[in-house]
């Protein structure tokens, strides 16, 4: 027999309908069915005067069951359930706590009243899944809080807290405990007939008379959301709330939802939602394995990276010690951390007083003995193998037994570093991306001997820091930078063959990346790659020439582009164009016009090919992990789902054919289709099929 997911209890005239569907009380078919059934009984029961809608477990409902999106609809639909609560002849009160999201909030807004605990947060995050709230959210929220605030909330998908919700009119009371609070609230409404949200008009009046304020709020909400369909649909639908009657607005919302839910953008965003969670599942790891508690952390190296990592610990509430070799460098590092917090406070990203509160968790020392206190140590010193080996050997001598010893290397061999210690099981890579306190991706690199315990702890720490951890294998560049190297090679080739930086960047921007590769190079500093190339004895003729001329990018005001003093806006530079043309001529390359389609293919297919090799070698556990790396670490547009998801949409046979062509043209065997890619294409399969196989194996 299937578990009961909705309960009905009646006590002293109050019916409590409680959803019980762990972990997040998603409103799947069984729940919807149960709700209609319970409501029908409560409404028919003469003993019931008031109905409270509650949830058991850790939170009020987090919304529709996302796994049902894109599958055939099953009655009763959510809008039908909400309509029943709305039309109920007895007052209905939703008792909110935890995170009330999406369909959960739409259901609560279908009730006549809402109460919430002080810590409760609520929002309509559908836009993050490429959707708009499709069960009345765009029509009811404006009626409760006004169209300006509604459009801001719906387009951003951000949650608001109970206090703000009360001030704005989304809820009717803040209570100490959800169900009891709702019952107490029921006594205050007396016998007045319930007010339906759909009938409330007072917050719409101003926009009906003059929509200018709404249009300003809407324009503000969608700016910077290039290329995405859902935000515009959200705006249109909220506008309908004051230009149409309720029923017409609801019907239009439904139609837009159906269009979006079957589209590629929403499919991609739902894929990333589940991919991010799947990435934390490690095949073979015992399900009961508990991460070690980290009461104290240490970071070796107080440079920009080390300071950023220390901030991550402090932000997660973990005391952290920055360890440096000299007092001056240590002080500079601590000052930089403080200054970064101050900037966030000045910008309003952190509340006043946050600097002191966070800095209270950050200490500094030049005394290595202090490393003995730490449960986790992250080394963020220079990227040099001998130095890292020396640090780890020394660390091995002082660190407490069982402490996780991590390196923030972005390229070096984890096994070689682990071999400098007598405890390789505790050693792994924690590869943060710059700026470390901002970027969401965390590559956790496991070495040959890294234990599951150390990996589980690193994942838990990453999550507590608000990062998206992805476990990867040990190889040059790991997942992200290894694929990026393929793109960088193509960039240089495209310039030599006939393209210009601004043309390539424009194509990549149009695809949806926030920045093109050349503007990105200028931001990161071209000298970094130049130094690595010299060290490895390789050349990149155009980039090398730029560096020889001291054009290191933004920091020198000149790179692939020109930068006016103090500006970060790239301006195409005729000197660079001349230099590129000259280099092509010097190397005997006849330049040709290169079309945007070719540029796009060369900016994506060689990376997809490298992803296939990474999977062949077991460096990534599953294709969706690679998608997560690129979405959270490198700006791959989330609505394109990541490189593997995108490859499946394009079709692998097409990608294989184009790679063959480009490998032939360049003579670069690295561009030749990987065996796995070829095999999947021949079998009519995609990356998603490997993902399914990996999931089945893990289960």
Q: Nearest 5 degrees, angle CA 235-CA 264-CA 512?
A: 70
Distance of alpha carbon 274 from alpha carbon 263, whole angstroms: 17
Q: Which is nearer to ligand COA, 277 or 586 (CB)?
A: 277
Given 34, 91, 110, 125, the residue binding ligand COA (CB under 6 A): 125
Given 3, 12, 23, 347, the residue binding ligand COA (CB under 6 A): 23
The answer to whether 129 contacts ligand COA (rule: CB under 6 A) is: yes
The answer to whether 625 contacts ligand COA (rule: CB under 6 A) is: no
Kind of pairing between the strands at 561-562 and 571-572: antiparallel
- Min CB(101)–ligand COA separation in Å: 4
Active site residue 669: no
Given 8, 66, 436, 483, the residue binding ligand COA (CB under 6 A): 66
Q: Which is nearer to ligand COA, 275 or 580 (CB)?
A: 275
The sign of the dihedral angle between the CA atoms of 68, 70, 76, 80 is positive
- Min CB(67)–ligand COA separation in Å: 5
Torsion of the alpha carbons at 630, 633, 634 and 636, rounded to the nearest 10: 50
Distance of alpha carbon 289 from alpha carbon 160, whole angstroms: 34
Rounded to an integer, what is the distance from CA 173 to the centroid of its chain?
33
Instruction: Return the residues of window 413-432 that contact ligand COA according to CB under 6 A.
Output: none
Given 226, 277, 534, 568, the residue binding ligand COA (CB under 6 A): 277
Given 6, 24, 495, 507, the residue binding ligand COA (CB under 6 A): 24
- Min CB(357)–ligand COA separation in Å: 24
Contacts 24+ apart (CB under 8 A), 245-250: 246/139, 246/198, 246/199, 249/138, 249/139, 250/79, 250/136, 250/139
- Min CB(332)–ligand COA separation in Å: 37
* Run of H or E residues at 14: strand 14-19
- Min CB(288)–ligand COA separation in Å: 15
Q: Which is nearer to ligand COA, 60 or 432 (CB)?
A: 60
The answer to whether 64 contacts ligand COA (rule: CB under 6 A) is: yes
* Run of H or E residues at 94: strand 92-96
Say how many residues touch ligand COA, by CB under 6 A.
17
The answer to whether 126 contacts ligand COA (rule: CB under 6 A) is: yes
Cis-peptide, bond into residue 23, ω within 30° of zero: yes
Question: CB burial class (10 A; 0-12, 13-18, 19+) of residue 658?
Answer: buried
Distance of alpha carbon 90 from alpha carbon 600, whole angstroms: 59
Active-site residue identified among 126, 278, 379, 497? 126
Q: Which residue is nearest to ligand COA (CB)?
A: 102
Distance of alpha carbon 245 from alpha carbon 243, whole angstroms: 7
Q: Which is nearer to ligand COA, 102 or 308 (CB)?
A: 102
The answer to whether 103 contacts ligand COA (rule: CB under 6 A) is: yes
Active site residue 276: no
**CA-derived radius of gyration, the chain:** 28
- Min CB(289)–ligand COA separation in Å: 15
Q: Which residues are within 8 A (CB) of 609 and not within 5 positions of it... i.e. 6 or more apart?
A: 486, 655, 659, 670, 671, 672, 673, 674, 677
Given 18, 19, 32, 63, the residue binding ligand COA (CB under 6 A): 63
Given 53, 65, 127, 186, the residue binding ligand COA (CB under 6 A): 65
* Run of H or E residues at 659: helix 652-666
The answer to whether 607 contacts ligand COA (rule: CB under 6 A) is: no
Active-site residue identified among 106, 373, 490, 610? 106
The site map against ligand COA for 43-62 (x = CB under 6 A) is -------------------x
- Min CB(356)–ligand COA separation in Å: 29
- Min CB(541)–ligand COA separation in Å: 48
The answer to whether 102 contacts ligand COA (rule: CB under 6 A) is: yes
**Residue from 662, 607, 598 nearest 634 by CA:** 607
Q: Give me the active site residues, please.
A: 106, 126
Contact residues: ligand COA, CB under 6 A: 23-24, 26, 62-67, 99, 101-103, 125-126, 129, 277
């Amino acid at each position: 027999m299937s578990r009961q997911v909705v309960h009905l209890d009646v006590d002293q005239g109050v019916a409590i309908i409680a959803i019980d569907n762990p972990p997040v009380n998603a409103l799947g078919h069984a729940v919807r069915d149960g709700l209609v059934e319970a409501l029908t009984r409560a409404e028919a029961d003469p003993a019931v005067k008031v109905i409270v809608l509650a949830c058991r477990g850790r939170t009020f409902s987090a919304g529709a069951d996302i796994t049902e999106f894109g599958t055939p609809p099953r009655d009763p639909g959510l809008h039908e359930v909400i309509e029943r609560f709305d039309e109920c002849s007895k007052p209905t009160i939703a008792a909110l706590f935890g995170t009330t999201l999406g369909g959960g909030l739409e259901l609560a807004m279908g009730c006549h009243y809402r109460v919430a605990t002080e810590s409760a947060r609520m929002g309509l995050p559908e836009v993050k899944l490429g959707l708009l709230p499709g069960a009345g959210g765009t029509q009811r929220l404006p009626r409760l809080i006004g169209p300006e605030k509604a459009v801001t909330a719906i387009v951003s998908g951000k949650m608001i807290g109970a206090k703000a919700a009360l001030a704005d009119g989304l809820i009717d009371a803040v209570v100490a405990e959800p169900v009891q609070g709702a019952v107490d609230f029921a006594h205050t409404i007396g016998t007045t007939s319930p007010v339906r949200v759909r009938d409330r008009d007072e917050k719409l009046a101003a926009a009906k008379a003059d929509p200018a304020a709404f249009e300003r709020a809407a324009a503000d909400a969608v700016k910077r959301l290039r290329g995405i369909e859902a935000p515009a649909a959200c705006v249109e639908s909220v506008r309908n709330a004051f230009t149409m009657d309720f029923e017409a607005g609801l019907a239009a919302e439904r139609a837009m939802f159906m269009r979006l839910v079957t589209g590629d953008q929403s499919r991609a965003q739902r894929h990333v939602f589940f991919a991010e969670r799947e990435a934390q599942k490690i095949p073979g790891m015992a399900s009961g394995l508990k991460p070690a508690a980290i009461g104290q952390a240490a970071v070796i190296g107080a440079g920009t990276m080390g300071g950023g990592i220390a901030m991550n610990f402090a932000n997660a509430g973990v005391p952290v010690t920055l360890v440096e070799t000299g007092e001056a460098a240590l002080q500079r590092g601590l000052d930089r951390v403080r200054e970064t917090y101050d900037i966030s406070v000045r910008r309003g990203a952190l509340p006043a007083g946050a600097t002191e509160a966070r800095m209270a968790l950050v200490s500094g020392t030049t005394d290595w003995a202090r490393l003995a206190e730490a449960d986790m140590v992250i080394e963020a010193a220079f990227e040099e193998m001998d130095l890292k080996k020396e640090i780890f050997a020394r660390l091995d001598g002082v660190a407490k037994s069982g402490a996780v010893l991590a390196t923030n290397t972005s390229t070096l061999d984890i096994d070689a570093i682990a071999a400098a210690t007598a405890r390789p099981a505790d050693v792994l890579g924690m590869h943060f991306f710059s700026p470390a306190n901002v970027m969401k991706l965390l590559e956790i690199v496991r070495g040959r001997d890294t234990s599951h315990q150390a990996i589980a702890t690193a994942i838990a720490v990453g999550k507590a820091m608000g990062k998206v951890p992805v476990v990867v294998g040990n190889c040059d560049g790991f997942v992200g930078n290894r694929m990026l190297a393929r793109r960088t090679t193509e960039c240089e080739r495209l310039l030599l063959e006939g393209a210009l930086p601004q043309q390539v960047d424009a194509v990549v921007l149009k695809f949806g990346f926030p920045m093109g590769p050349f503007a990105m190079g200028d931001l990161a500093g071209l000298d970094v790659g130049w130094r690595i190339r010299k060290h490895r004895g390789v050349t990149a003729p155009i980039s090398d020439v730029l560096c020889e001329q001291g054009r290191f990018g933004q920091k020198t005001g000149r790179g692939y582009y020109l930068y006016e003093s103090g500006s970060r806006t790239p301006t195409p530079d005729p000197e660079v164009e001349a230099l590129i043309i000259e280099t092509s001529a010097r190397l005997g390359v006849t330049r040709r016009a290169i079309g945007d389609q070719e540029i796009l293919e060369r900016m994506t297919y060689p990376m997809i090919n490298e992803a296939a090799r990474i999977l062949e070698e077991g460096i990534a556990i599953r294709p969706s992990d690679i998608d997560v790396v690129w979405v959270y670490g490198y700006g791959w547009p989330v609505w394109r789902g990541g490189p593997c998801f995108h490859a499946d949409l394009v079709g692998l046979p097409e990608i294989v054919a184009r790679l063959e062509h480009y490998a032939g043209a360049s003579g670069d065997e690295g561009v030749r289709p990987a065996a796995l890619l070829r095999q999947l294409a021949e079998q009519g399969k995609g990356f998603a099929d490997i993902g399914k196989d990996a999931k089945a194996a893990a289960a």
